[in-house]
Structure 1
């Protein structure tokens, strides 16, 4: 039996090509979600301002809206 470190990688070149293609689409998806991204950014900036620390769920609602927008945009542009 061949040791696992000597076996060819299962991921291969195709995985990197698909990943790179998805990453190239990211700016386009982000542009379609500008309103949600801006709301999330404003929330994070406001929560981090001042002496208080940014807490985990401070901007959960805005983050979920942004994530849903990305998911819709990615689904709509999927091949």
Structure 2
């Protein structure tokens, strides 16, 4: 595997990230609100407190990437 291929693929993924992310604004907002609500008063974010919101965001992002690949 060529080193330049790895960088080219990585650059392409980073380049399209904003486009994919823009398709998931509702899920991103819900996850952000959950994180903000669970970390008030400088508390640490605990594992799985926002798992449902994260999974929704991850699913949306994955689906957006699949739609783009078609």
Normalised to the residue count of structure 1, the TM-score between the two structures is 0.81
Tell me the equivalent position of 1:68. 59
**RCO greater where, 1 or 2, for CA within 8 Å and sep 6 or more?**
2
Q: What is the number of equivalent residue pairs in this alignment?
A: 70
Tell me the equivalent position of 1:25. 16
Structure 2 unmatched ranges of 5 or more: none
Q: Secondary structure of 2:47's partner? A: coil
Poorly superposed stretches of 4+, deviation over 4 Å: none
- What is the alpha-carbon root mean square deviation over aligned residues? 1.4
CA distance in structure 2 between the aligned counterparts of 1:64 and 1:12, rounded to whole angstroms: 32
Normalised to the residue count of structure 2, the TM-score between the two structures is 0.90
Larger radius of gyration: 1
The structure-2 alpha-carbon separation of the partners of 1:15 and 1:43, relative to structure 1 and needing over 3 Å to count, comes to same
How far has the Cα of 1:31 moved from its partner? 0.4
Bigger Cα displacement from structure 2, 52-61 vs 26-35? 52-61
Higher helix proportion (structure 1 or 2) = 2
